[in-house]
Structures are given as structure tokens and as C-alpha cells.
Amino acid sequence: MILIRLFLISILLLCSCTSYFKRKDCEATNWFEHGYQIAMSGKRLNSDNFLLECKRVDAEISESQLDLGFKSGMTNYCKPEMVYATGKKGLFFNNEFCDPSMIKVLEVKHAQGVIIFCSPQNAFIFGASGGIYNQICPKEIESNFLIEFKKGKKKFLEQSIQENEKRILSLNQEELKFQQMRQTKEFELRSAESLYLLRPKNAIQKAGEAAPLSPEEIRLNDLKHEVNRINDQLNSVNSQRKSLQEEIFRWKKEIITLE
């Protein structure tokens, strides 16, 4: 029962710390700029995950600045040159933001941008940069786009796998270094513990009197702290390596789907 309570308390403390840092992150946000960027992505405020998370942790949000930024973004989003740029990036156009009388003109500009995005030359560049295709190309030109996009995406994934493999090799070297450090510190700790047990005992301590730590005890505490610190570093290395390996596995599966 005690272990369960300690476990629950640790979870509550972790959640509290997470909420604290998220709240700090939210309160450091430029809400005008954030609202502007939401609108420029063609989304509504209530669909923004970051904003929803900030509300969930009761962070202070400048609603007025958020609203002003969003409205400013909506105005800019509906300019013909911006709609054209949206299509050129391979992004869908949300015509709900714009004046109904301008929608036909804006849709033409967007379609012009999409045609450029869907060119085979751009397809390879887009794939090689790690772009995610969202099926925006017209069916009559999509097949040519996909041929070059898949070539580019395969190149990107292969390079990403190589980079992760290099990082894993580096982590393996770090792990070996930390293991050697831990072995040395654990040997020092065992030696210090042996000497501590053999040392002469102090005079009987008076009741209620706090005993000062001896140099030997200070040394033992320092060594234990060092061992714990090295263990934390080893755990971090293992966590990073596992994450990199999972990415490699996912990317290899994706490459198979491109062939």
C-alpha cells in the first residue's frame, strides 16, 4: 500500500512539473504572432493544439492579442499572392476565411500554384527535403509527380537512416565511456565503504545532538552521487538510442512502401 501511495505521489509531482513548464512556455508566447500564424495556416483558433494545451494548464493567454493576430492573418491569407504561394507549397486553401466575391479568383490563383508544386522537378526536391504529400495534385498529373516524389523521399529517408546510424555509433562510444567511469567509481565506492567500516568509532553522541558528517561519510556520499549521476547518463544514452532505432525501423518500412 505504501509503495502504491508513493507511486501515485510521484505521478502527481511529475504532472505538476509538466504543467508548470508548459504554463511557462505558454506565457512566454507572442500571442499576436501565434494567432497570425494560425490564420496563415488556414486553421481556426479552436483547432490549434498548442492553444488548447495552454488553456488546459490554465496559462495566462492574451485573448485580445490572439484575436488581433488571427484577424490580421486572415486578411493577409486571402491576398491573391498569398493564396498562390499556399498552392505552390502544396497546401490546401481554406476559402472560408475570404470574401465570397473573391473566392473564384483566389481559387484560380491557388490552382496555378498547385500546378507548379506538382511539377516533376519540384516533386523530387519536395521529397528530398522530407516533405509529406497530402494528395493535392490533380489526378491527370499526379502519377508523374509521385514518381519523382518517391525518388526524392527515398533519398531523404536513406540519408536520415545513415545519420541516425552515425548517431547510434556515437552513443555506443558514450555508453562505453560511462560504463568505464561507473566501474571506476563503483570500485572507489566499495573501497571507501570498506575503510569506513574499519575506521575507529567516535565517542558516544549526546542525545538530541546532530552528529557532523565525517570526511569519510562526505566522501561516501559524493561517490554515491557520482554513481547515480553516471547511471542517469547511461539511461539517457539508452533512451536516445532506442528512439533513434525506432525511427530507423519506421523509415525502413516507409522505404518499402515507396518501392
Q: How far apart are CA 105 and CA 190, in angstroms?
A: 79
Q: How far apart are CA 213 and CA 221, in angstroms?
A: 10
pLDDT of amino acid 10? 46
Answer yes or no: is pLDDT of 2 > 70. Answer: no
pLDDT of amino acid 57? 86
pLDDT of amino acid 250? 97
Q: Are 112 and 86 in contact (CB under 8 A)?
A: no
pTM: 0.73
251 φ/ψ angles, rounded to the nearest 5 degrees = -65, -40
pLDDT of amino acid 216? 82
pLDDT of amino acid 110? 97
Say which range, 27-31, 49-53, 194-198, has the weakest mean pLDDT.
194-198
pLDDT of amino acid 209? 57
Extract the runs of DSSP E, i.e. beta strands, from 2-42: none
Answer yes or no: is pLDDT of 31 > 70. Answer: yes
Answer yes or no: is pLDDT of 140 > 60. Answer: yes
What average pLDDT does range 22-33 have in this prediction?
Answer: 87
Task: Give CA 109 to chain center in angstroms.
Answer: 35
Q: Tell me the pLDDT of the chain averaged across its residues.
A: 87
Q: How far apart are CA 117 and CA 46, in angstroms?
A: 29
Answer yes or no: is pLDDT of 13 > 80. Answer: no
The band of 5, judged by pLDDT with boundaries at 50, 70 and 90, is: low
Question: Domain extents for the chain?
Answer: 30-77, 154-197+217-259
Highest mean pLDDT (candidates 39-53, 87-101, 213-227, 242-256) = 242-256
Answer yes or no: is pLDDT of 220 > 80. Answer: yes
Q: Is 205 helix (H, G, I), strand (E, B) or coil?
A: coil
Answer yes or no: is pLDDT of 118 > 70. Answer: yes
CA angle 239, 22, 34 (to 5 degrees): 115
Among all chains, which residue has been given the C-alpha cell 554515491?
224
Cβ-Cβ contacts under 8 Å for 62 (sequence gap 6 or more) = 31, 32
CA distances to 33, 53, 257 from 85, in Å? 20, 30, 30
pLDDT of amino acid 201? 62
Locate all alpha helices (DSSP H) within the chain, ordered by sequence.
Answer: 2-27, 31-40, 49-56, 63-77, 80-88, 103-117, 120-128, 139-198, 215-258
Answer yes or no: is pLDDT of 19 > 80. Answer: no
pLDDT of amino acid 200? 67
Answer yes or no: is pLDDT of 257 > 90. Answer: yes
pLDDT of amino acid 46? 87
